[in-house]
Amino acid sequence: MNHAYSITAAELAARGRDDIPPELLSSAHLIYSSPATLAFNSPGAQGFGVKRAGLAVPGSVMLLVAPACCGRNTATLGCEASLAERFFYLMQDDTDIVTGRHLARIPEAVKEVCDSCAVRPSAVMICITCVDALLGTDMERVCRKASDYAGVPVVPCYMYALTREGRLPPMVSVRRSVYSLLQPREKVPTSVNILGFFSPLRDDTELYTLLRSAGVRSIREISRCADYEEYQKMAEANFNLVLNQEARHAAADLQKRLGIPSVELARLYQTDKIANQYRLLGQAVGAEFDDAPFRERAEQAILNFKNTFGHRTFAVGEWLNADPFELSLSLIRNGFAVSKIFGTVGGSNFVYVKKIAALSPDTKIYSNLSPSMMFYDGADAHCDTVIGRDAMYYHPALPGVAWNDERQPFGYAGVAALFDALGKALSGKEAAR
Partner 1 sequence: MKSLLKHLSPFAPDQSGAVSALFDFGGLIVICDAGGCTGNICGFDEPRWFIRKSAVFSAGLRDMDAILGRDDKLVSKLQNAMDGSGLKFSAIIGTPVPAIIATDFKALKRMAEKRTGLPAITVPTTGTRHYDRGASDAWLELFKTFATEKLDIDSGTVGILGASPLDFPTLDAGNQLSDALKKGGWKSVKCYGMGAGLDDVKKASSAAKNIVVSPAGLAAAKYLQKTFGTPYEVRCPWLPQQVLDALPALAGKRTLVIHQQFAANAVRDEILKHDATSQVDVASWFMMESEFMRENDFHIESEEAFIEAVANGGYDTIVCDNRLRVALPRTQAFQIIDFPHFAVSGRLLDEVK
- Residues of this chain that bind partner 1 (CB under 8 A): 1-2, 26-35, 38, 40-46, 66-76, 78, 84, 87-94, 96-98, 102, 105, 108-109, 112-113, 116, 129-131, 133-135, 159-166, 369, 371, 374
Of 143 and 182, CB closest to partner 1? 143
How far lies 268's CA from each of 194, 212, 329, 333, in Å?
16, 21, 10, 13
Cα–Cα–Cα angle for 359, 40, 377, rounded to 5 degrees: 60
Name the minimum Å distance from CB 143 to partner 1: 17
Half-sphere exposure of 77 (CA within 13 A, CB side): 24
192: three-class secondary structure by DSSP: strand
- CA 225, distance to chain mean position in Å, is 19
322: three-class secondary structure by DSSP: coil
Of 76 and 276, CB closest to partner 1? 76
Of 136 and 286, CB closest to partner 1? 136
- CA 251, distance to chain mean position in Å, is 16
Name the minimum Å distance from CB 152 to partner 1: 16
Name the minimum Å distance from CB 367 to partner 1: 12
Rg (CA), the chain: 23
Of 139 and 225, CB closest to partner 1? 139
Rounded to an integer, what distance in angstroms lies between the CA atom of residue 15 and that of residue 339? 20
Name the minimum Å distance from CB 85 to partner 1: 9
**Which amino acid would we find at residue 285?**
V
Name the minimum Å distance from CB 233 to partner 1: 32
- CA 185, distance to chain mean position in Å, is 28
Run of H or E residues at 195: strand 191-195
Of 32 and 305, CB closest to partner 1? 32
Name the minimum Å distance from CB 394 to partner 1: 11
Rounded to an integer, what distance in angstroms lies between the CA atom of residue 349 and that of residue 9? 12
DSSP conformational letter for 288: -
Of 85 and 290, CB closest to partner 1? 85
Of 83 and 252, CB closest to partner 1? 83
Name the minimum Å distance from CB 135 to partner 1: 7
Of 146 and 274, CB closest to partner 1? 146
Name the minimum Å distance from CB 42 to partner 1: 2
DSSP 41-86: H-TTTSSS-HHHHHTTSTT-EEEEEE-HHHHTTHHHHTTSHHHHTT
Strands 364-366, 7-8: parallel, antiparallel or unpaired by DSSP? antiparallel
